[in-house]
Structure 1
Amino acid sequence: MTSTTSKGIPYPQSTDHTRLWEHFQNLAQAADGLMFGNVDRQVFTSSGTWTRPAGAIMVHVRVQAGGGGSGGVPSTGSGQAACAAGGSGGEYAEGWLTPATTGASVAVTVGTGGAGGPAGNNSGSDGGSSSFGSLITCNGGGGSAGMSATSSSASVGASNGGQGGVGGDLHLPGGDGGNGQVIAGLPVKYNNGGASMLGSMRRASGVSATTTTGFTGYSYGGGASGPANGASQSAVAGSPGAPGIVIVTTYTA
């Protein structure tokens, strides 16, 4: 009589008269079915459905939410300026799952980047959430506020970093957006977009003292940097955050 371990590897009992070569053959075949042999990788840059490949042993999932958009700035008068802050990066998570946990297929949601605020003192939108079914979820980065025309004020960058997702083995919030500030009628431009795990920090708007737009967040999941206005300039819209991504790697027999 042959018994098996909890992972399905057979071994002979004392009353088993199986010949040694037969036992070793069974042992090799059983172990072969538990060892990683091939890799199947499915990359989602838009929402869809993951289908479990044949012979799956373990599934590694990486989920990145979208980054936040930056706010806009209004037109300015003489001696005024405006400098909107940057959006924050989206949350990231990853985890190892068994085929029994995933089931045969899983709905995948990829969060879009948050829209930039319209021209004027208008906030940018939050980035979209990304998820691997209900097993791993991540929240999008925060959109930043706009700024009114002023001679001296500050606009604080989005700081929620897309926290609060669930599932998986690891969660990392996105980086905060940089602040916008006006001092003595001049915009101080350190209004960078926040980084994400899969997207670098986006540099602040340009060094010009007139009108400068922000920059779209870096893929994947980075926040947008904010726009800025010097004196006597027209209103400028904010910029969008970067979309997220979901990467599912399955190790098969």
Structure 2
Amino acid sequence: MTASTSKGIVYPQSTDHTRLWEHLQTLATTADSVIFGNIDRQIFTSSGTWTRPSNAVAVYVRVQAGGGGSGGCGATGSGQAACAPGGSGGEYAEGWLTPSTAGASVAVTVGAGGNGGSAGANAGSNGGGSSFGALITTVGGSGGSGASAVTSGSTAASNGGSGGTGGDFRLPGGDGGNGQVISATAIKFNNGGAAYLSNMRRATGIVATSTSGFDGYSYGGGASGPSLGASQAAVAGSNGAPGIVIVTTYTA
């Protein structure tokens, strides 16, 4: 006679004359089916379908949403400046799944980075959400606002992406940095928001002429905002970085 543990390992429970080595062989054979032996890793930098490998024991999923684009700046006159805030970073989540919960295949969505706003005081677009089916979802970072020419003032940035579902751990994206104008100088703070899988994108710094900012860092970082000094033409914002989904399956 035999019995099984809750994890499926068969062990002897017998008073017959089965030899000891036969019991040990049964125990070793069944244990092989629930002990990690190999790793299958599927990395998605674009949307696709995850297929569960054979002999799966556990599935570990990491999901990063895309970062927001920064807004553009309107043209400035004499004694004016403009400084658009940075886009925010995308949300991150991760979790462990049993093979039966994950299923045989799952639709994977990888969020695109948000586009920078067109030249002028035009907002950047939000980053796209990434997901592992409906099991783990994340929200992309928000696009930064556009900035008009002023003699002094601040343009507030948006909060990082948040509000997804599922998983065992999640972290909102980092906020974008505010755009700040002092006199006819556009001064920094308009960094792109960080994400769990990316660094913050540096601000454009004190600008006497014109800069369009910097695209967000992979994966999921927000773009830093553009800045204009006095008497400059309108400038567009920069793009957020796309997300990524990493699925690691531990197999017997």
Q: TM-score range by the shorter chain?
A: over 0.9
Match of 1:85 in 2: 85
Please state whether the residue corresponding to 2:28 is helix, strand or coil. Answer: helix
Match of 1:47 in 2: 47
The count of residues paired between Structure 1 and Structure 2 equals 252
Deviation of the 1:158 alpha carbon: 1.7
- 1:1-253 counterparts in 2 under 5 A? 1-159=1-159, 161-253=160-252
> What secondary structure does 1:250 align onto?
strand
Paired amino acid for 1:51: T
Cα distance in 1 between the residues matched to 2:56 and 2:93: 21
Deviations 1:156-212 (A, max 9, x none): 1221x1100000100100111111111122111121000000111000114431111
Structure 1 unaligned spans of 5+ = none
Q: Is the 8 A contact 1:41 1:247 kept in 2?
A: yes
Q: Which amino acid aligns with 2:42?
A: Q
Q: Alpha-carbon deviation of 1:228?
A: 0.5
Name the SS of the counterpart of 1:70 in structure 2.
coil
1:60-113 CA-to-partner distances (Å, cap 9, x unmatched) read 000000000001001110001000000110000000001100111000000000
Task: Name the CA distance, whole Å, in 1 between partners of 2:124 and 2:154.
Answer: 16
Would the aligned equivalents of 2:73 and 2:148 in 1 still touch at CA under 8 Å?
A: yes
Aligned counterparts of 1:169 and 1:215: Cα–Cα separation in 2: 33
One-letter identity of the residue aligned with 1:143: G
Q: Distance in 2 between matches of 1:93 and 1:186?
A: 39
Superposed displacement of residue 14, structure 1:
4.5
Task: Return the letter of the residue paired with 1:245.
Answer: I
**By how many angstroms is 1:33 displaced?**
1.2
Q: Secondary structure at the match of 1:218?
A: coil
Percent identity between matched residues is 72
Q: In structure 1, how many angstroms separate the alpha carbons of the residues matched to 2:37 and 2:103?
A: 21
